[in-house]
């Protein structure tokens, strides 16, 4: 077969146009989506931050140079713009490709189109050490190759939780094992500025070094350059929830070892989540096992550390069955919207939600509203505020036989705004899991997740959903 030169040029131009069209617009169906990384090996555990221009930056754990998840894994990142076009190197920028494995990234927007990315790192061969890297809006790592050390105290650090410091840097809290062997974990924190300078004590400031063990920190900004951190705490016979506020200079503002957010003698509390209340304090929610099943409770703590609501918290849902793994977002009016995975009957699963006012009053009935009760197992919900008193929620969903990604918008009155049981965000072949989302600045969201549509293993994909529930660039 032969082609004239003009035909070859036309074919080449068409190929370029098709390539641009395929990558420069968000797909409008749930079978395609935008691939952020389809490199060899599994890519898992995506973390996402808004880029401030309608797009997002996603970081993940990447084993393209490895034989499996967690074995010599690295940290990579990609920026996707408001149009669905990936802006950095194909399959992402190497944030850290040091020896051994780097895992569990956390990410914070830098306010200038880039991000600060943190992770747990085993390059030294011992316990995990905390590292960080600043990646510019153009995808260029700005600090030392493979990152700077945030904490390398003996005993290791894990379960990183990070938030912006409001000045181009980040505050990160972690579960810390430097205490004497066998005495459990503590909670420490550090502030990193936009230039990569550590602003607090070497290896971080202690937020809690109480007896026994403290784990699973969650963090929110205090609105004044500092942060409020909550965690699981087993200093008493039962596991409870404590919190501490630290200012921009690293000084603890509440009593040493924190304030008891919930100290129920029945204990069994877990999975704390925290959101700022807009006046220097925070609202904290958790999974609570004080009854015969798991419920969801919340408490507000003021800027001075004073408890604001009923002792040991307000029940957001105490219905039959288990309510587990809450996630929370501010309503921008001093209250919060909380979502959770609910198991009202054996074999059934729902995604439920509740609005909690600044006073602790519940807006959506005693047990909240159901956002998805479709057959299958909707699970692991998370959310962001929609800027209008409501929220956009995403979750894993197995109604189609494999795990997919769905989403729903709920308004301030507790009414679902999109298709009943949620909008299908990704229903590609095989499993899609662990969705995370950020606002797109135009009333919608960008959602990212682990994706198994390829036989080669897990990849990272993304999709925009408009404020009206449409996939792609529409309204």
Q: What is the pLDDT of residue 236?
A: 87
Q: What is the pLDDT of residue 68?
A: 52
Number of domains in the chain: 1
Evaluate whether residue 345 is within a structural domain.
Answer: yes
**Under-50 pLDDT residues of the chain:** 1-24, 70
Q: What is the pLDDT of residue 457?
A: 87
Evaluate whether residue 199 is within a structural domain.
Answer: yes
Evaluate whether residue 471 is within a structural domain.
Answer: no
Q: What is the pLDDT of residue 71?
A: 61
Q: What is the pLDDT of residue 252?
A: 98
Q: What does the alpha-carbon distance between residue 93 and residue 60 come to, in Å, rounded to a whole number?
A: 11
Q: What is the pLDDT of residue 456?
A: 81
Evaluate whether residue 364 is within a structural domain.
Answer: yes
Q: What is the pLDDT of residue 473?
A: 74
3-state secondary structure labels for all residues of the chain: CCCCHHHHHHHHHHHHHHHHHHHCCCCCCCCCCEEEECCCCCEEEEEEEECCCCCEEEEEEECCCCCECCECCEEEEEEECCCCCECCCCCCEEEECCCCCEEEEEEEECCCCCEEEEEEECCCCCCCEEEEEEECCCCCECCCCCCEEEECCCCCEEEEEEEECCCCCEEEEEEECCCCCCCCCEEEEEEECCCCCECCCCCCEEEECCCCCEEEEEEEECCCCCEEEEEEECCCCCCEEEEEEECCCCCECCCCCCEEEECCCCCCCEEEEEEECCCCCEEEEEEECCCCCCEEEEEEECCCCCECCCCCCEEEECCCCEEEEEEEEECCCCCEEEEEEEECCCCCCEEEEEEECCCCCECCCCCCEEEECCCCCCEEEEEEECCCCCEEEEEEECCCCCCEEEEEEECCCCCECCCCCCEEEECCCCCEEEEEEEECCCCCEEEEEEECCCCCCCEEEEEEECCCCCECCCC
Evaluate whether residue 472 is within a structural domain.
Answer: no
What CATH code is carried by the domain that includes residue 225? 2.130.10.120
Evaluate whether residue 475 is within a structural domain.
Answer: no
* Rg of the chain (C-alpha set): 22
Q: What does the alpha-carbon distance between residue 324 and residue 44 come to, in Å, rounded to a whole number?
A: 23
Q: Which domain, by its residues, includes 317?
A: 5-465
Evaluate whether residue 474 is within a structural domain.
Answer: no
Q: What is the pLDDT of residue 182?
A: 60
Evaluate whether residue 374 is within a structural domain.
Answer: yes
């Amino acid at each position: 077969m032969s082609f004239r030169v003009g035909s070859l040029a036309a074919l080449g131009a068409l190929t370029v146009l098709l390539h641009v069209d395929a990558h420069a617009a968000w797909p409008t169906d749930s079978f395609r989506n935008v691939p952020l990384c389809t490199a060899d090996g599994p890519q898992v555990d995506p973390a996402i931050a808004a880029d401030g221009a309608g797009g997002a930056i996603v970081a993940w754990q990447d084993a393209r140079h490895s034989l499996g998840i967690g074995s010599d894994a690295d940290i990579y990142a990609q920026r996707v713009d408001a149009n669905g076009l990936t802006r950095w190197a194909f399959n992402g920028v190497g944030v850290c490709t040091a020896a051994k494995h780097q895992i569990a990234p956390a990410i914070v927007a830098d306010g200038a189109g880039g991000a600060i990315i943190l992770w747990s790192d085993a390059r030294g061969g011992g316990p995990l050490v905390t590292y960080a890297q600043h990646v510019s809006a153009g995808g260029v790592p700005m600090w030392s190759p493979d990152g700077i050390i945030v904490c390398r105290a003996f005993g290791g650090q894990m379960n990183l939780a990070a938030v912006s410091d409001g000045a181009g840097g980040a505050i990160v809290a972690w579960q810390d094992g430097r205490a004497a062997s066998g005495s459990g974990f503590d909670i420490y924190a550090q502030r990193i500025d936009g230039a990569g300078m550590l602003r607090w004590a070497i290896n971080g400031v202690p937020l809690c070094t109480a007896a026994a063990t403290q784990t699973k920190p969650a963090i929110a900004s205090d609105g004044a350059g500092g942060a409020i951190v909550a965690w699981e705490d087993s200093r008493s016979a039962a596991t409870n929830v404590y919190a501490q506020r630290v200012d921009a200079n690293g000084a603890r503002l509440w009593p040493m070892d924190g304030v008891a957010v919930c100290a129920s003698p029945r204990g069994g509390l877990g999975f704390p989540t925290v959101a700022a209340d807009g006046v220097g304090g925070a609202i904290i929610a958790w999974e609570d096992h004080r009854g015969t099943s798991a419920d969801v409770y919340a408490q507000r703590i003021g800027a001075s550390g004073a408890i604001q609501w009923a002792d040991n918290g307000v029940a957001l849902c105490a219905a039959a069955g288990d309510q587990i793994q809450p996630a929370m977002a501010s309503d921008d009016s001093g209250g919060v919207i909380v979502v959770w995975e609910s198991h009202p009957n054996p074999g059934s699963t729902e995604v439920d939600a509740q609005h909690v006012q600044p006073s602790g009053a519940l807006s959506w009935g005693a047990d909240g509203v159901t956002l998805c009760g479709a057959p299958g197992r909707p699970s692991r919900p998370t959310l962001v505020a929609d800027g209008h008193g409501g929220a956009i929620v995403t979750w894993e969903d197995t109604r189609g036989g494999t795990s997919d990604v769905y989403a729903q918008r709920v308004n301030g009155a507790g009414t679902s705004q999109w298709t009943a049981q949620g909008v299908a965000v990704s229903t590609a072949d095989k499993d899609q899991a662990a969705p995370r989302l950020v606002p797109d600045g135009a009333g919608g969201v960008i959602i990212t997740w682990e994706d198994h549509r390829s036989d080669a293993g897990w990849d990272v994909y993304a999709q925009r959903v408009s404020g009206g529930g449409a996939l792609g660039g529409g309204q």
